[in-house]
């Protein structure tokens, strides 16, 4: 192959190793090449595709989205909706760089995921070197491609339950784990503080998970409600953020735009009312 389809994932892994803070733009419903372009122009480092809570518009559309992301130099980290060989294989064959496992709660969960994600001798992934995973070109050397593919695929644990917290040491110390994402909302629910990730109990638990990750050199990340809080987590050692999704950003910008226009309307109306009240004579409105 003239182009190495595993290069993007291996570059992403190198960036993790250098200590860069990586920002991911989230994709919920608008699985379109146009969203890839917008996220590329914005300067995101990767795309996080939530393939658990929303319907990713079917496999062909998802595959097209991943292909567009790869062509634009944006690795895709995708949630698998459940821990199943077929679900993992379809995402990898589409060309995603990483798989994020929701509700990671044990070392066994991760070992099973790694077995599905990695080729022999690390795992038992089946070879299908003709789809988005190879950019639709058959590798010249299958063994070399498999070795590089193992190096390029990123394993992401997703901690969001009390059981995951209880087993955090065995989870984070699992050989082959690259990143750990902490889902603060579900984590707060599991800890009895629903919708309050800022609660001291939740914050202490999040810090505990981060400390374990730092000890084992696993990149830790979360989603922060503000850049100020994100900065505080960066200072403590956070290495990546799954930031905001396209729906939330459209809603926020749309509301701000309407508010700005309503303010302009109110200003003009106030000025008109003042002139109408204070102007006399033939030029009065």
**What per-residue confidence (pLDDT) applies to 55?**
62
31: Cα separation from own chain's centroid = 14
**What per-residue confidence (pLDDT) applies to 285?**
47
**What per-residue confidence (pLDDT) applies to 249?**
96
Domains of the chain: 7-260 (3.20.20.60)
Residue range 129-177, pLDDT digits in tens? 999 999 999 999 999 999 999 999 999 999 999 999 999 999 999 999 9
In the structure encoding, which two tokens stand for residue 225, read together? 């409600």
98, 149 in Cβ contact below 8 A?
no
DSSP state of 126: P
> What is the rounded distance in angstroms from the CA atom of residue 84 to the CA atom of residue 73?
28
Residues facing 181 on adjacent strands:
158, 221
Per residue of the chain (285 residues), what is the pLDDT tens digit?
Answer: 557 999 999 999 999 999 899 999 999 989 999 999 999 999 999 999 998 877 655 567 889 999 999 999 999 999 998 899 999 999 999 999 999 999 999 999 999 999 999 999 999 999 999 999 999 999 999 999 999 999 999 999 999 999 999 999 999 999 999 999 999 999 999 999 999 999 999 999 999 999 999 999 999 999 999 999 999 999 999 999 999 999 999 999 999 999 999 999 999 888 888 777 876 555 554
Whole-prediction pTM? 0.91
Residue bearing tokens 């065995």: 170
In the structure encoding, which two tokens stand for residue 251, read together? 């809603």
DSSP H stretches of helix in the chain: 7-18, 33-42, 59-71, 85-94, 107-117, 142-152, 162-166, 168-172, 184-190, 200-216, 227-236, 246-278
> What is the rounded distance in angstroms from the CA atom of residue 98 to the CA atom of residue 94?
11
> What is the rounded distance in angstroms from the CA atom of residue 272 to the CA atom of residue 212?
63
């Amino acid at each position: 192959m003239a182009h190495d389809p595993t290069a993007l994932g291996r570059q992403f892994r190198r960036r993790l190793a250098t200590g860069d803070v990586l920002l991911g733009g989230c994709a919920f419903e608008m699985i379109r090449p146009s969203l890839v372009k917008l996220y590329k122009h914005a300067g995101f480092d990767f795309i996080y595709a939530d393939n658990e809570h929303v319907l990713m518009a079917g496999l062909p559309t998802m595959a097209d989205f991943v292909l567009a992301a790869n062509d634009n130099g944006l690795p895709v980290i995708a949630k698998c909706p459940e821990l199943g060989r077929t679900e993992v294989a379809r995402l990898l064959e589409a060309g995603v760089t990483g798989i994020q496992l929701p509700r990671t709660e044990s070392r066994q969960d991760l070992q099973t995921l790694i077995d599905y994600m990695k080729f022999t001798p690390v795992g038992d992934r089946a070879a299908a070197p003709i789809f988005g995973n190879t950019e639709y070109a058959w590798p010249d050397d299958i063994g070399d491609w498999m070795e590089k593919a193992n190096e390029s695929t990123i394993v992401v644990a997703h901690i969001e339950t009390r059981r995951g917290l209880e087993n955090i040491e065995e989870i984070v110390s699992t050989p082959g784990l690259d990143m750990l994402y902490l889902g603060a909302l579900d984590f707060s629910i599991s800890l009895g503080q629903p919708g309050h990730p800022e609660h001291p109990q939740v914050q202490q638990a999040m810090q505990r998970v981060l400390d374990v990750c730092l000890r084992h050199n696993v990149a830790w990340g979360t989603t922060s409600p503000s850049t100020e809080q994100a900065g505080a987590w960066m200072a403590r050692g956070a290495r990546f953020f799954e930031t905001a999704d396209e729906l939330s950003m459209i809603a926020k910008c749309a509301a701000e735009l309407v508010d700005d226009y309503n303010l302009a309307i109110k200003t003009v109306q106030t000025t008109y009312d003042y002139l109408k009240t204070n102007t006399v004579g033939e030029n009065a409105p």
